[in-house]
Chain A
Amino acid sequence: MSEIGASEIGASDNGANSGHAPVPRGARRLGPDRIGGLIAIGLGLVALAEAARLYHLGTGMLVGDHVMPGAVGILLVVFGAVLVIRADPSALMEKLPRGRTMLRLCGSFAILFVYWLLMDRLGYIASTFIVAIGLFKTMSQYGWVRCILYAAIASAALGYLFMNLLNIALPAGVISFG
């Protein structure tokens, strides 16, 4: 999770060697920086629209809640345009995972949203147990027995630590330590 890794020390700019790859096929013409620039322009326009909506509530051109959204909007549009114009379309971005790794990545992310749905309904410990099984399976790729064992230990330990020892108010749900 570090910003840089050993591979980057003395790594060349060659995409194949440094973990980088050309941008995805559909975006090749634009390049990642240019896409970013366009998104910045879009955000800037949203900010400007909000500033225009709030303008009548202010007491002057430079006094009111519209000023900062307006200023941020203008700057986002300007810098976004600069990036779009000056961006190198052949710029490299880090390689996105493919195949089964991509599936596991999407699966792990989906499991987090399941956690969000379940926690209020089942409570912290039960939902953590279910979600931990999924995460150990998709992220760590352990066998089912080990996933269930680790999930049981993790959910019980975390539940006891946060709910009982640290007194953090988490949804109690169907299982708790009383």
Chain B
Amino acid sequence: MDTIHLLIEGFGSALTPTNLLMAMLGALIGSVAGMIPGVGPTPAIAILMPLTTALGPTQGIIMLSGIYYGAIYGGSTTAILLNIPAELQAVPVCFDGYPLAKKGRGGPALGIAAISSFVAGVLGVIGLVFFAPLLADQALAFGPPEYFALMVLTLTVIVNLSGNSVIKGLIMGLAGYLLSLVGMGPASTQARFTFGIEPLTAGIEMISVIIGLFAIAEVFHSFGEHASESQVPKLGSVYPRLSDLRDTVPTMLRSGVVGFLLGLLPGCSPAVSAFLSYDLEKRIAPKPEEFGQGALRGVAAPEAAGNATCSAGFVPLFTLGIPSSPPLAILLAGLMIYGLQPGPMLFDGSNNFVWVIIASMFIGNVMLVVLHLPLVGIWVKLTQIPLRILKPLILLLCVVGVYSVRNSMFDVLVSFILGGVGYFLKKGKWPLVPFILCFMLGPLTERSFVQSMSISDGSFSIFVESPIALTILVFAAGLFVVSIALMRRAHIRRRDLQLAVTE
């Protein structure tokens, strides 16, 4: 009952004009960012996060969450109409969405994507309401050894965020960790890795790293590309027929539940659940040969599963501080910048922060459907904005974003240098997300390890003697193995599906 009561209070706060405006602005900005070919949710959140610091934590996170699911939602538009997926999870949406668009049924495909996204979003929010407090209650018993074990569990996420090479992901994670060690150590007052450069004693600012690697590097990575000149096929009516809905609603519900349950596992990315759900629907479909040729169920399944996983990702994010996808890793940084440490304290009864965010997510999902379906023509036009105008403006925004956090030109310089480094890393196909994840979690990992070692007088037995820490470490080992198996399976399925589509 407490949960329901807190949720009602959350709705009360979320429905204030300011919070409603932030949810709407976030959803709109996110949709625009997701629809412009070549932007997508991760850079969108990275670029805009510093600017939301002008707002309070609640309004800022409401807006960032809105940008997140708005961009995910918007990304499906380019996947269906232009065959350009903004994120990996939108790839299976292309398989059937684009053939539908080429047949002149882009409108119904967009409509089904919107409804699937809404259904999954609502399922996800309902799940979040019931699962998150349960997990947060368990986290109340955590001390330094448990937190260290949790950090180890979080690092298993790297496997899923490493792209094609786990070893490169691990090296990037360690490099990020190394960068987080710059500055004063937790046990002494001795500066580390400063090499006599005075501003480094305060450490490297998180936003400089995020903007450098995710925004500046991205702008230069796509240098010379002008992707927005693609032609949009004829849309048709955006409202699906009743028979289309009858055909796809069970798929939406099934994929939504599968996506949500997969999303509860730390490290399961929306891309994995989107591919697995597409595969599942194809297997149980009465006419599997229609998949890849323009089946609406082929749009509904990955869209619902991916979005439900996105919503479910907020459960480990809010309760344990474990992000399961790149945009959530940036959102975690957002929480930290606002001074909010994810964990049980966020669910403290005296603080309705989380409940306002959850209520806003529900409202944001409603807004997305209401805004998108009738205005689809305007959204389609947005996919045609020339990137050559946007790129210089994005760079100018990046500078303000970095500078505004500490009023430091040194931070701006760091972001430029990391932008250059990130450019070459992207060219060499080195995954950037493990770097940022370990950079963010590095200080907490080190602090919990140093405290655990101080308590146990340097003995590792402290991690085995604590039942919670031991359970988490065993779970981390199991998850590591399962993640590799899932990644291989998704990789094989993706390859098979791509081959099938090509044929």
Q: Which residues of A contact B (CB under 8 A)?
A: 1-6, 9-10, 32-33, 35-37, 40, 43-44, 46-47, 50, 54, 57-65, 67-69, 72, 75-76, 79-80, 82-83, 86, 93-94, 96-97, 101, 104-105, 108-109, 112-113, 115-116, 119-120, 124, 128, 131-132, 135-136, 139-142, 150, 154, 158, 162, 166-170
Judged by DSSP, the binding face of A is: helix
Q: Tell me, in angstroms, the Cα distance from A82 to B168 when the chains sit together.
A: 10
Inter-subunit contact A72/B188 (CB<8 Å): no
Contact of A9 with B83 at beta-carbon distance under 8 Å, contacts A94-B427, A132-B396 already known: yes
The CA-CA distance from A10 to B95 in the complex, in Å, is 10
Query: Given that A166-B54, A168-B404 are known contacts, is A10 also in contact with B502, CB under 8 Å in the complex?
Result: yes
- Among B54, B87, B167, B178, the residue within 8 A (CB) of A82 is B167
**Which residues of chain A come closer than 8 Å to B270, judged between CB atoms?**
none
Q: List 12 A-B contacts (CB under 8 A).
A: A2-B38, A4-B88, A4-B91, A9-B501, A44-B174, A54-B192, A64-B185, A105-B220, A119-B412, A124-B400, A166-B51, A170-B404
Complex Cα gap A168–B400 (Å): 9
Please give, as numbers and ranges, the residues of chain B lying within 8 Å of A72 by CB-CB distance.
174, 177-178, 181
CA–CA, A76 to B170, complex, Å?
A: 9
Kindly state the separation between the CA atoms of A167 and B429 in the bound complex, as whole angstroms: 39
Q: CB < 8 Å: which of A10, A36, A63 contacts B498? A: A10
Query: Which residues of chain A have C-beta atoms less than 8 A from B193's C-beta?
Result: 46, 50, 69
- How close is B406's CB to chain A, nearest CB, in angstroms? 11
- In the complex the two chains form, what is the Cα distance from A141 to B387 in whole Å? 12
Number of interface residues of B (CB under 8 A): 81
Complex partner residue of B83 from A6, A59, A109, A135, CB under 8 angstroms: A6
Nearest neighbor of B219 in chain A, beta-carbon distance? A1
Chain B CB within 10 Å — which of A57, A64, A101, A169 has the most? A64
Of residues 174 to 189 in B, which have CB atoms within 8 Å of A's CB atoms?
174-175, 177-178, 181, 185-188
Chain B residues proximal to chain A, CB less than 8 Å: 37-40, 42-43, 51, 54, 82-88, 91, 94, 165, 167-168, 170-171, 174-175, 177-178, 181, 185-188, 190, 192-193, 216, 218-224, 227, 388-389, 391-393, 395-397, 399-400, 403-404, 407, 409, 412-413, 416, 419-420, 426-430, 442, 445-446, 449-450, 453-454, 457-458, 460, 498-499, 501-502
A76: nearest residue on chain B (CB-CB)? B174
A83 to B167, CA, bound (A): 7
Contact B429 A93 (CB under 8 A): yes
Decide: A170 and B400 in contact? CB cutoff 8 A: yes
Q: In whole angstroms, how far apart are the Cα atoms of A1 and B221 in the complex?
A: 7
Q: With a CB–CB cut-off of 8 A, which chain A residues contact B88? A: 3-4
